[in-house]
Amino acid sequence: MSEFAPAIAVADLPPGRAAEVVVNGQAVALFNVDGTVHALAGRCPHRGGPLGQGFVDGPRVSCPWHNWSFDVTTGENVASAGPGVARYEVKVEDGRVFVRLG
């Protein structure tokens, strides 16, 4: 199993916001929902839109390209029966967010 890798400072991801980061060479979308950070694969399965630049509404993010929506807590597609996205384990320590891609 892979190790946790540093992703972003907690201060750079306020509640209600998303961020697009690269962890170990892979695009990752981070979301702060009411103080809890969630991580999903960074690209929408529809056309590869950047989910970290998406529109956040509570626990949902909508892809900025074609509005496919995903639950940031599970990675499930909530707009259709289409594919979801991978969800990654997150931990917060010493003011930093760490992600395990494994």
Q: In the chain, what are the domain boundaries?
A: 4-100
**pLDDT over 80 (residue 24):** yes
DSSP run (H or E) holding 29: strand 26-33
Q: Give pLDDT, residue 71.
A: 98
pLDDT in tens, 33-83: 999 999 999 999 999 999 999 999 999 999 999 999 999 999 999 988 889
Confidence of residue 102 (pLDDT cuts 50, 70, 90): confident
d(CA 72, CA 85): 9
Q: Tokens 């995903």 — which residue?
A: 70
What is the bridge-based pairing of β-strands 55-57 and 36-41?
unpaired
Q: What is the third-level CATH fold of 4-100?
A: Rieske Iron-sulfur Protein (2.102.10)
DSSP output for 35-52:
TEEEEEESB-TTT--BGG
Give the mean pLDDT of 24-37. 97
Q: Give pLDDT, residue 3.
A: 95
Cβ-count burial of 86 within 10 angstroms (0-12 exposed, 13-18 middle, 19+ buried)? middle
